[in-house]
Amino acid sequence: MIVTALKDIIGTERDVSGPGWQSRRLLLASDRMGFSMTDTIIRLGMTLELEYKHHLEACYCIEGSGEIKKAGSNEWHPLEPFSLYALNQNDRHEVRAIDNDMRLICVFNPALSGQEQHRPDGSYAPPDP
């Protein structure tokens, strides 16, 4: 059984950030669950362009508001508390926070190791076998 609290992760190696975002890694590959889960904040006014070529991702908004669109599209979809988006085709996408910071609970499959860094194209490297 794994029991953890966000307060136990903040300020540790599982609390990572980059330009416009902060991700608290609640579950990682080392937890052997087959997926990972993060508590992620996208900062107000930031637009992130991402493409997880080697991971499927689903995000559930729990605070704030934002928008998401598939890269190359002009159609923004609203995100607000209790809405979900799933990148079921490794979709290149843009996501942005509007009005205030947006907080998401994100699930990745395969699981993240916790050491990933966004590459210039917005993706993570393939997971180690």
Is the pLDDT score of 129 beyond 70?
no
Query: What is the rounded (10 degree) CA torsion for 53, 90, 17, 101?
Result: 160
- CB-based contacts of 35, cutoff 8 Å, min separation 6: 27, 107, 108, 109, 110, 111
Q: Cα(47)–Cα(45) distance, rounded to whole angstroms?
A: 7
Cα dihedral across residues 29, 55, 59, 94: positive or negative: positive
The pLDDT tens digits of the residues spanning 26-52 come to 999 999 999 999 999 999 999 999 888
Look at residue 100 and tell me if it is in a domain. Answer: yes
The model's pTM = 0.88
Indicate the pLDDT class of residue 123, thresholds 50, 70 and 90: low
pLDDT for residue 121 is more than 80? no
71 inside domain = yes
Across-strand partners of 106? 38, 59
What pLDDT is attached to residue 115?
Answer: 72
- Please give the pLDDT value at position 127: 67
Triad 1, 62, 20: Cα angle to 5°: 100
Residue 83 lies in a domain: yes
Residue ranges making up the domain that contains 67: 6-109
Tally the domains of the chain: 1
Question: Dmax of the chain from CA atoms?
Answer: 44
Whether the pLDDT of residue 125 is over 80: the answer is: no
pLDDT tens for each residue of 56-112: 999 999 999 999 999 999 999 999 999 999 999 888 999 999 999 999 999 999 998
Q: How confident is the model at residue 117 (pLDDT cuts 50, 70, 90)?
A: low
The domain spanning residue 85 has which CATH number?
2.60.120.10
Instruction: Tell me whether residue 128 is in a domain.
Output: no
Token duo for residue 63: 């605070």
Contacts of 5 by beta carbon, 8 Å cutoff, 6+ apart: none
126 has pLDDT over 90:
no
| Backbone φ and ψ of 123, nearest 5° | -100, 170
